[in-house]
Structure 1
Amino acid sequence: MSKANKSINVEIKDHPDSSGQDVSELFIGKKLIGTLKEVSAGKYEAINTHQEQFHVKTFEEGVTLLIKEFHLHH
């Protein structure tokens, strides 16, 4: 028997870090699942809660990757 698909609400909060660069924090509920920041034009760095860094080409790809990593380790 398969389980029904549940939708999840992902909240993205933007703020500057200590160097003044914009950082996006991703939350599921009140739990932080990772951060995203643009390292150069069209390239982003996604960092999960285990401090693993991933380089992605788009912001959306980074969000998807962090959600997958969260569900893999959750």
Structure 2
Amino acid sequence: MSKSIKSINVEIKDSKDQNGHQVSDLMIGRKRIGFITKLSDNKFEAVNTHQENYHVKTFDEGVQLLIKDFHLHH
């Protein structure tokens, strides 16, 4: 018997940190799964809930990485 496919809504909330940098929080429901910060034009940093940093080339790549990491540990 196969499992049914569930859709998950991911919400992105933009804010600024204490240094004035743009930060995008990723939320699934009320749970924060990580955030993404833009370092330069083609460099982003994705940080998960375990404070592990990942350097990615695009914002979308950071979103995918955080979702995969959340499902791996959840």
Task: Provide the TM-score with structure 2 as the length reference.
Answer: 0.97
Structure 1's unaligned 5+ residue stretches are none
Percentage identity across paired residues of the two chains: 65
Number of residues paired by the alignment? 74
Task: Specify the alignment match of 1:59 in structure 2.
Answer: 59
Matched position secondary structure for 1:3: coil
Q: Deviations over 1:9-67 (max 9, x none)?
A: 00000001000000000000000000001011111000000000000110000000000
Partners of 2:50 and 2:17 in 1: how far apart? 19
How does the TM-score come out when normalised to structure 1? 0.97
Point out where structure 2 has 5 or more consecutive residues left out of the alignment: none
Quote the RMSD (CA, aligned, Å): 0.5
Alignment partners' CA distance in 2, 1:4 and 1:43: 36
